[in-house]
Amino acid sequence: MRITAAVLIILCASLVLAGEQAFTFDASPSEVKIRFNETAVFKTTITHISKDTETFELFSNDVLWDLRTSEALVIPPKGVSVDVFLKPLFAKPGVYGVTLILKRSKTGEMKRHTLNVEVSSDVAQQYLPAVRGTAYIDKYVRPDRAVEITVDLESQNSAVIPKLVIKARSATINADYETSLLAFEKKTVRFTVQLDGKTLPQDDILRTTIIAFDEEGKSYNFESPAIDFQIVEYGDVVKDYSNVKRFLKSQLNFVITNDGNVPKVFRHDEFIGYPALWFTTSSPLGIKERGRIYWDIALNVGESREFIVVTNYWGGFLVLLIAVLIIISYYIFRSPVVLKKTSRIVSTREGGISELKILICAHNRSRRAVKNIRIIDLVPRIAEYLKQVDPGSIEPFSIVTHEQKGSIIKWRVHCLEPGEERIIVYRIRAKFAIIGGVRLPIASSRFESSIGNERTINSNSPVISL
């Protein structure tokens, strides 16, 4: 019982509240007679009980009539009266019941009131412009190409429309087209729109408004059904090459451009091969791998990047040239006579070396004879020269003993033919047993060069040890 009573109280409160917020809507006169070129005028009174000023909308679902009010329907609590104008668009002579709908903007509440209007035909019939239009566009649109928009137009009455403007609007399209339309004429118009080629892929909606102007310059708007279409992806990267070749150097220039409408991320490589890759540089710097050079590239829409690949053999050529010149210079300027000194142990005593045999080999490695060769060797002061001449050896022409340096021995060879060798053999005896080892002094030679100058060469310094 308590729950039922509570529900009844809530319902009563709601009815009281609804009653307080009610509004009234009345129009007079209830019947009007007009001609085709006239407009019916009604006085409409709107009141409401709300304490605040409220906004209302007045309209009719009857497409045969043009409905307008003398002022905006902003109604104070005390109410207001406004004039309502009804003008036939393409109604035939007869009696019509035109239903007016008043909508309360705040709550969406609606009230209806029907007015009777008689249209007579005692004067020539005049119509307001009435146009039906349907627009068409391709479902998939490439922004780099001209887009064709087709609109089918149809005049609904005998009104002549001297100026008719078609406005095509979307997120990517903004175009106007002007034409005219005769009484009851049907026509199809086509016009093209050029989009921005960098427009990104996206879904879009084309809305077309048809604005008809009568003879007096008044405009009337008609909406065409909206059309869904799609901006699609297109294009790829474009590569423009140029190659400049010179002696021992080549330069490859190329420009990569993203001519599509979406960013591109890709890898570009150029085959260079070996050994050219060793002499190749690039700007910007690429990565060399397996005879190729490559770059990882990211290009925005419409972006271009320039690449330069230079293969320059000049560095390698100069290194090779220098090496060849060094080799040639070596063979040109090297000594034609090679002097090599070796030694052998002849005898030992007390665990050390006591006697040595020294061999000096003079070899003419040039293609010309070498004359007036003098060979000089030094016997250390810890040993003494033995005047024992081995078979086939050359006897010295001078032996000079120096207290601190030792004995200086000189030999003379009058001529060495190309490829000829002369071996000088002599012996020395140590003044005391040499324990371990000893390094012998170098031998030297002086001779006349091919240009008449005197040249000096030295031999190696042999080491003797047990």
Which CATH number do you get for residue 340?
A: 2.60.40.1530
Within this chain, do residues 436 and 341 fall inside the same structural domain, yes or no? yes
Within-domain flag for 6: no
The domain that contains 100 carries what CATH number? 2.60.40.10
Within-domain flag for 306: yes
Within-domain flag for 14: no
Give the helix/strand (H/E) hosting 102.
Answer: strand 94-104
**Per the structure, how many domains does the chain have?**
4
Within-domain flag for 320: no
Q: Determine the Cα–Cα distance for residues 147 and 153; give it in Å rounded to an integer.
A: 19
Within this chain, do residues 165 and 259 fall inside the same structural domain, yes or no? no
Within this chain, do residues 361 and 461 fall inside the same structural domain, yes or no? yes
Within this chain, do residues 267 and 217 fall inside the same structural domain, yes or no? no
User: What contacts 7, CB < 8 A, 6 or more positions away?
Assistant: none
Q: Residue 2 carries which DSSP code? A: H
Q: How far is CA 159 from the centre of its chain?
A: 58
Within this chain, do residues 109 and 65 fall inside the same structural domain, yes or no? yes
Pick the last residue of a domain from 177, 196, 231.
231
pTM above 0.75? no
Give residue-wise pLDDT tens across range 208-253.
999 999 888 899 999 999 999 999 998 888 989 999 988 988 999 9
Within this chain, do residues 297 and 381 fall inside the same structural domain, yes or no? no
Within this chain, do residues 211 and 262 fall inside the same structural domain, yes or no? no
Within-domain flag for 324: no
Which mean pLDDT values do the consecutive 10-residue runs of the chain (466 residues) have?
Answer: 42 41 80 81 86 86 83 83 85 81 86 84 68 93 93 91 94 93 92 91 94 90 92 90 90 91 90 88 89 91 91 89 90 85 87 87 89 90 82 84 85 89 89 83 86 83 85
222 near 210, Cβ under 8 Å? Answer: yes
Within this chain, do residues 190 and 246 fall inside the same structural domain, yes or no? no
Give residue-wise pLDDT tens across range 185-199.
999 999 999 998 888
Within this chain, do residues 449 and 344 fall inside the same structural domain, yes or no? yes
Within this chain, do residues 348 and 456 fall inside the same structural domain, yes or no? yes
Within this chain, do residues 246 and 295 fall inside the same structural domain, yes or no? yes
